[in-house]
């Protein structure tokens, strides 16, 4: 099943200052100079909610899940400072190649990945910056599909909590520990991507932003916003024996 950008956004949270959506895989966060005609969340919010959305953080285009916007520049600045100070808690769910350990900490600095168009004036020789991700394994699955010298193919359902916010951090960190995320065409494993494409008609990156927790900049309340896996993901998880365990992410 192919997941496409939705024209009607699913709003997860809204008040006078903030709005969070469940971003579909494939939807850009904001306009792109490379793909000017592609749909983006900022433009859709302007059309559907009739207000200017201020970006606070970002999700990669192929990543789905909780995406938060501010409704005014003061709130945007306060929330951006909270993200920069690492006072938010982010939780992701992903499907990886191989059997991951029960839990672990990936402490591996990352050099900034520069975009040829957007970052053409940036210094390509900047040193690597600290990057830390904490993960735990929620489930394992084995498919009766040959892989290399093995008669079967093994996969893991993993919850990841990044403690820093480097570009493509989770994707690069999972590759670093030799468990690349399924559906990742840049940092993943083409052979296993094909297995999921042929067997499950996978057309997306299996990385979902399932939970975001932060302190409301105006009320001081601790806010927790969650996004459950979509119908297609739930169907996939059921086939892999993860129907119930997938809902543990972020708990």
Give the catalytic positions in this structure. Answer: 60
**Integer angstrom CA distances of residue 224 from 53, 73, 91, 123, 170:** 20, 22, 11, 37, 21
| CB burial string 58-75: b at 16+ within 10 A, e below | ebbbbbbbbbbbbbeeeb
Return the residue matching tokens 């859709």: 44
187's tokens:
């940092």
CB contact at 8 A, 187 and 170: no
CA 251/CA 247 separation, integer angstroms: 8
Per DSSP, helices labelled H in the chain are 41-49, 73-84, 169-176, 190-200, 231-239
């Amino acid at each position: 099943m192919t997941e496409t950008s939705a024209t009607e956004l699913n709003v997860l949270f809204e008040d006078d200052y903030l709005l969070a959506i469940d971003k579909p895989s494939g939807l850009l966060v904001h306009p792109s100079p490379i793909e000017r005609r592609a749909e983006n969340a900022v433009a859709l919010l302007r059309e559907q909610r009739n207000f200017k959305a201020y970006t606070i953080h970002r999700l990669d285009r192929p990543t789905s899940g909780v995406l938060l916007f501010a409704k005014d520049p003061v709130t945007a600045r306060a929330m951006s400072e909270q993200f920069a100070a690492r006072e938010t808690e982010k939780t992701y769910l992903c499907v990886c190649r191989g059997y991951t350990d029960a839990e672990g900490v990936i402490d591996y600095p990352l050099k900034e990945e520069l975009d040829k168009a957007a970052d053409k004036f940036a210094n390509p020789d900047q040193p690597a910056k600290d990057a830390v991700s904490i993960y735990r394994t929620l489930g394992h699955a084995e498919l009766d599909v040959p892989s290399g010298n093995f008669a079967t193919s093994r996969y893991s359902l993993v919850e990841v909590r990044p403690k820093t916010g480097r570009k493509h951090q989770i994707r690069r960190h999972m590759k670093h520990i030799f468990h690349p995320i399924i559906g990742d065409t840049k940092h993943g494993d083409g052979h296993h991507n094909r297995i999921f494409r042929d067997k499950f008609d996978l057309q997306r990156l299996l990385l979902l932003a399932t939970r975001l927790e932060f302190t409301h900049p105006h009320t001081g309340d601790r806010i927790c916003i969650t996004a459950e896996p979509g119908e297609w993901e739930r169907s996939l998880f059921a086939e892999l024996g993860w129907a119930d365990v997938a809902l543990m992410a972020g708990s």
